[in-house]
């Protein structure tokens, strides 16, 4: 999935290789790239399951607006992985519902300004 | 509380232009953007821009962005990144969040240049991982440098769908199809033709019935729609795909303008609200607040940059940094540049209209609008296509789009667009083409080819632009494809040219049997059997 060369953009300038943990397994990516990019490169598509319908969600806007890509990162739920840089040793987990946050708390991703897709499923 | 003369929200083409313009007139300016990099959409855009020199035509989007940023920073503009502006109040105060810390800033004038967000289309399975906005795919491949998927279906045939579709091919993805519920391709024909000759099928009057898959997209079903937008039974088609990109238009991000109490209106009932503002400077109903770029109505980066400049100049005048006379002189110049972009069949004022003829009276190709390519024999109807002895340009640019780099590129005056940049380019067959290839490399729509109908031995050569990897080598044999992407004959590469002035576009020259030179428009490496499909 990674682009190693490109007819217009040439070879990418990447950070150093770092390892991180995804749902208990070890993975690697480039320091500073969005967590979602490292996951995409590793073939991970599902970032979270919604609270009510347990429907899977993945990257949708890639610019931090829709909250579909949120995961539990280093124990913190609702982290938008498409705009959060990857760092050595991060612990990234698929988020289920509000991700351990209090139910109905304002931290629930569905409350954010975005696509709020839960109502639609 | 920190204060500036001018605060600009959004560091896209509109915002950076507003900032640079105002700073050049002496204002102290700060720009806020929520992203970690400035440039808005520009840094994702890797194609050469349309327009004319004054609009930075034929320069790739990211280079335009880099230039704007250098200009703004050189003028002392302060750029705050990772800083979403979450609030804006009547007294021209804004609230920005940087690293979770909330700060208040005040200014004498504010330019809101927050751009737009992508529209979504709901279909069965639209929330599955693998369904994403076209802009998201563009961010992934051009910024994050990861392919969004392996095999993609594009919903939407406007310029965004077509341009992102081509970028997906450049990133090495397969493009299963371009699908649009409208009966005609919405974007420029030249963008559609680039995809069609690579073999991408177009399904107009079709929409997505459902995205298949349990936890992620594994396939797509499309179907034809009737006049009432219902799926016609029995017309369903399945495609294997792991990604669906949706390019269904953009909606202005007007939240801050609303918060600040700017008057809004709805141009089309139910079609979303726009700020009431001066069409040119973006002056809103609230004193000191301007709207520039997509937030004041969806257009293009080229127009967003001019609107930004106009807003920056108007703010400078409002704050007394330039006189009314100076402002007028500046605006007159900018207005001429903007007016030339707002002409032609794709102009904002012509949205929704169906054109059957060009301004010059040439028929618009029905095949181009329905299939994405000119049908065999149609090209010769246009003024850019002439049969001449020796090497000569063949220009398959058949709609009135605001663009003229082909004319500027030619050192011999072979190509005439004229002063109205939406006119169709015409070839002057007497001007004496020297085959330098500048026109091919400069054409933003990749619509210019060089043809030599007789190179001896019954062969002809065709030179086409090429922006894929790996770059073919001289002597390689492959097949020539016609405008629909169907193989027409074997073709050997006889020349591959590159030059800094071609700006990463390669020029491939391939040899084909003489009778195929009016059909062969692309080259593919694998020799597959042809004549069967
Ligand atoms: C695929 C594609 C291809 C295109 N091709 C062309 C082309 O060939 N030629 C052309 O002229 N145009 C093209 N366009 C259109 C062009 O990109 C847009 O019209 C242009 O970018 C609009 O500029 P802007 O400055 O208004 O907005 P944007 O470029 O969208 O910039 C707005 C910026 O504001 C930021 N922002 C928004 N809200 C906030 C907030 N509250 N706080 C802080 N920051 C905020 C955004 O993150 C963004 O960085 C294309 C568009 C797309 C999507
Ligand atoms: S190849 Fe050179 S001389 Fe010939 S038309 Fe193009 S730009 Fe002009
Ligand atoms: S042929 Fe000329 S006018 Fe047409 S897209 Fe190319 S450069 Fe623009
Ligand atoms: S995909 Fe990350 S917020 Fe939308």
**pLDDT tens profile B289-332:** 999 999 999 999 999 999 999 999 999 999 999 999 999 999 99
Q: What pLDDT, in 10s, does the model give residues B11-64? A: 999 999 999 999 999 999 999 999 988 999 999 999 999 999 999 999 999 999
Nearest to B127 among A2, A45, A57 (CB): A57
What does the pLDDT read at residue B527? 55
Decide: A27 and A38 in contact? Cβ < 8 Å: yes
Contact between chains at B132 and A62 (C-beta distance less than 8 A): yes
Mean pLDDT across B337-342? 93
Contact between chains at B504 and A63 (C-beta distance less than 8 A): no
Mean pLDDT across B381-396? 96
**Ligand 2, closest atom to CA B406?**
7
Return the minimum-mean-pLDDT range out of A35-49, A97-111, B40-54, B341-355: A97-111
Among chain A, residues having any CB pair with chain B shorter than 8 Å are 1-3, 5-9, 12, 14, 33-34, 36-37, 40-41, 45-47, 55-65, 68, 83, 85, 113, 115, 117, 120-121
What does the pLDDT read at residue B529? 52
Provide the pLDDT confidence category of residue A115 given band limits of 50, 70 and 90.
low
Does residue A116 or residue B225 have the better pLDDT? B225
Nearest CA in chain B to A119: B127
Mean pLDDT across B274-282? 95
How, if at all, do strands A70-73 and A76-80 pair?
antiparallel
B145 inside 8 A of chain A by CB: yes
pLDDT at B172 over 90: yes
Query: What does B513-529 look like in DSSP terms, one character per residue?
Result: EGGGTTT--EEESS---
The H or E element spanning position B340 is: helix B324-341
Q: Which of residues 295-314 of B touch A (CB under 8 A)?
A: none
Nearest CA in chain A to B63: A9
Mean pLDDT taken over chain A: 86
Residues paired with B264 in a beta bridge: B275
CA-CA distance, B61 to A47, in Å (whole number)?
A: 31
Decide: B491 and B478 in contact? Cβ < 8 Å: yes
What does the pLDDT read at residue B100? 80
Contacts of A19 (CB under 8 A, 6+ apart): A26, A27, A28, A88, A89
Residue whose tokens read 């097949």: B479
Mean pLDDT across B502-529? 92
Contact between chains at B46 and A9 (C-beta distance less than 8 A): yes
Task: Map out the domains of chain A with their CATH numbers.
Answer: 17-96 (3.10.20.440)
What does the pLDDT read at residue A98? 86
| Residue nearest atom 8 in ligand 2 by C-alpha distance | B410
Contact between chains at B36 and A83 (C-beta distance less than 8 A): yes
Tokens representing B373 are 């390519």
What does the pLDDT read at residue A112? 38
Contact between chains at B46 and A8 (C-beta distance less than 8 A): yes
pLDDT at A12 over 70: yes
Distance A82 CA to ligand 4 centre (A): 5
pLDDT at A99 over 90: no
Flag whether the pTM goes above 0.80. Answer: yes
Mean pLDDT taken over chain B: 95
Residue whose tokens read 């088609």: B237
CB contacts, 8 Å: A58 with chain B? 128-130, 132, 216
Decide: B84 and B67 in contact? Cβ < 8 Å: no
| Interface predicted TM-score (ipTM) of this complex, two decimals | 0.93
| Residue nearest atom 44 in ligand 1 by C-alpha distance | B33
Provide the pLDDT confidence category of residue B268 given band limits of 50, 70 and 90.
confident
CB contacts, 8 Å: B85 with chain A? none
Q: What pLDDT, in 10s, does the model give residues B440-485? A: 999 999 999 999 999 999 999 999 999 999 999 999 999 999 999 9
What does the pLDDT read at residue B528? 53
Q: Which of residues 228-257 of B touch A (CB under 8 A)?
A: 255
Alpha helices in B173-231 (DSSP H): 189-196
Q: How far is B467 from chain A (nearest CA, A)?
A: 6
Which ligand does the CA of B431 lie closest to? 2
Distance B360 CA to ligand 3 centre (A): 16
What does the pLDDT read at residue B533? 40
pLDDT at A104 over 60: no
Contact between chains at B215 and A7 (C-beta distance less than 8 A): no
- Highest averaged pLDDT of the listed ranges B29-43, B210-224, B334-348: B210-224
Cα B79 to chain centroid, rounded: 26
| Residue nearest atom 7 in ligand 3 by C-alpha distance | B443
Contact between chains at B467 and A47 (C-beta distance less than 8 A): no
B133 inside 8 A of chain A by CB: yes
Task: Map out the domains of chain B with their CATH numbers.
Answer: 2-117+251-341 (3.50.50.60), 120-248 (3.50.50.60), 376-524 (no CATH)
User: Among B441, B491, B467, B461, which Cα is nearest to B392's?
Assistant: B461
CA-CA distance, B268 to B352, in Å (whole number)?
A: 12
Output DSSP code: residue B381. G
Alpha helices in B412-523 (DSSP H): 438-442
């Amino acid at each position: 999935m990674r682009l190693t060369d490109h007819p217009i953009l040439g070879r990418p300038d990447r950070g150093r290789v770092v390892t991180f943990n995804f749902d208990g397994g070890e993975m690697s990516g480039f320091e500073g790239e969005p967590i979602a990019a490292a996951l995409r490169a590793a073939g991970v598509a599902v970032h979270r399951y919604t609270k009510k319908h347990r429907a899977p969600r993945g990257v949708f806007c890639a610019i931090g607006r829709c909250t579909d890509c949120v995961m539990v990162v280093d124990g913190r739920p609702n982290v938008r992985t498409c705009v959060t840089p990857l760092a050595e040793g991060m612990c990234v987990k698929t988020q289920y519902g509000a991700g351990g946050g209090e139910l109905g708390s304002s931290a629930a991703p569905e409350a954010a300004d975005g696509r709020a897709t839960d109502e639609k499923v | 509380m920190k204060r500036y003369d001018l605060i600009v929200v959004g560091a896209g083409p509109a915002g950076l232009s507003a900032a640079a313009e105002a700073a050049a007139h002496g204002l102290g300016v700060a720009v806020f953007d929520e992203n970690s990099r400035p440039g808005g959409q520009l840094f994702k855009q890797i194609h050469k821009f349309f327009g004319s020199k004054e609009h930075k035509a034929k320069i790739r989007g990211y280079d335009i962005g880099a230039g704007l940023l250098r200009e703004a920073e050189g003028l002392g503009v302060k750029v705050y990144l990772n800083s979403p502006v979450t609030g804006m109040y009547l007294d021209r105060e804004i609230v920005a969040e940087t690293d979770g810390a909330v700060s208040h800033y005040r200014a004498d004038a504010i330019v809101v240049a927050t751009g737009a967000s992508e529209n979504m289309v709901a279909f069965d399975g639209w929330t599955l991982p693998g369904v994403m906005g076209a802009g998201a795919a563009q961010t992934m491949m051009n910024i994050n440098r990861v392919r969004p998927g392996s095999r993609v279906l594009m919903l939407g045939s406007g310029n965004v769908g077509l341009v992102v579709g081509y970028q997906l091919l450049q990133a090495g993805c397969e493009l299963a199809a371009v699908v649009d519920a409208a009966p005609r391709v919405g974007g420029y024909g030249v963008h559609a033709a680039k995809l069609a000759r690579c073999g991408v099928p177009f399904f107009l009057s079709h929409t997505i019935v459902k995205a298949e898959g349990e936890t992620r997209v594994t396939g797509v079903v499309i179907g034809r729609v009737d006049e009432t937008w219902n799926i016609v039974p029995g017309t369903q088609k399945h495609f294997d795909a792991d990604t669906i990109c949706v390019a269904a238009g953009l909606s202005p991000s007007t939240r801050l303008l609303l918060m600040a109490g700017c008057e809004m209106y709805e141009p089309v009932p139910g079609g979303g609200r726009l700020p009431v503002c001066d069409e040119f400077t973006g002056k809103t109903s609230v004193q000191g607040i301007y709207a520039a770029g997509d937030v004041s109505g969806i257009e293009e980066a080229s127009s967003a940059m001019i609107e930004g400049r106009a807003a920056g100049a108007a703010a400078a005048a409002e704050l007394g940094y330039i006189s009314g006379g100076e402002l007028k002189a500046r605006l007159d110049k900018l207005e001429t540049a903007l007016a030339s972009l707002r002409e032609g069949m794709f102009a904002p004022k012509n949205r929704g209209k169906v054109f059957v003829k060009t301004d010059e009276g040439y028929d618009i190709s029905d095949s181009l609008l329905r299939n994405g390519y000119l049908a065999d024999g149609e090209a010769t109807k246009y003024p850019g296509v002439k049969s001449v002895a020796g090497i000569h340009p063949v220009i398959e640019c058949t709609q009135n789009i605001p663009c003229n780099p082909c004319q500027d590129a030619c050192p011999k005056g072979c190509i005439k667009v004229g002063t109205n940049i939406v006119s169709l380019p015409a070839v002057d067959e007497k001007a004496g083409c020297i085959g330098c290839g500048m026109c091919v490399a400069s054409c933003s729509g990749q619509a210019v080819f060089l043809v030599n109908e007789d190179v001896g031995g019954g062969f002809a050569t065709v030179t086409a632009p090429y922006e894929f990897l790996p770059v073919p080598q001289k002597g390689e044999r492959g097949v020539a494809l016609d405008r629909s992407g169907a193989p027409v004959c074997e073709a050997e590469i006889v020349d591959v040219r590159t030059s800094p002035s071609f700006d990463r576009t390669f020029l491939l020259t391939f040899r084909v049997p003489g009778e195929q030179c009016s059909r062969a428009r692309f080259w593919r490496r694998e020799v597959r059997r042809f004549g069967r499909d």
